[in-house]
Amino acid sequence: MATGIVRGGLKDIRTLKYTNASAVAQGDVVVVNGQVLIATNAYAANAEGIYVFRARVEFPKEASLAIAPGEKCYWVAGAGNVNKTSAGNTAIGVCVENALTTDTVVLVELSENRV
């Protein structure tokens, strides 16, 4: 499973409690009700855990893709990475540091999708 690494200070991180049907490892990315969540620890299947829904998170990036600060980013569940294509993917936030085509990760300000 693809993972996200939470970066930044604790004061900027927002979490929620969630019970996932499958076991997860720390950092695993889970999409729940159109939201991308990051597991804060390893949790067994059907065990309540704490998941990050807002923070600066380092995600794997689609190969050979440049993402500039301020560009919208999307989670591609099937590929387990981030790109800039909205169609069929889940919005996760905006890029906060330049990610070059040679970079394998991108730093995103993960934020909840507002209705």
Give the type of residue at 108.
Answer: V
Q: For each of the chain's 115 residues, which pLDDT tens digit applies? A: 677 878 877 778 999 999 999 999 999 999 999 999 999 999 999 999 999 999 999 999 999 999 999 999 999 999 999 999 999 999 999 999 999 999 999 999 999 876 4
Q: End-to-end alpha-carbon separation of the chain, Å?
A: 28
Q: Can you list the positions of beta strands (E) in 8-115?
A: 14-19, 29-32, 35-39, 48-60, 72-76, 81-83, 90-95, 105-110
Residue 99 sits at the vertex; the CA angle it makes with 93 and 101, to the nearest 5 degrees, is 125
Contact between 79 and 64 (Cβ < 8 Å): no
Residue 64 sits at the vertex; the CA angle it makes with 63 and 66, to the nearest 5 degrees, is 110
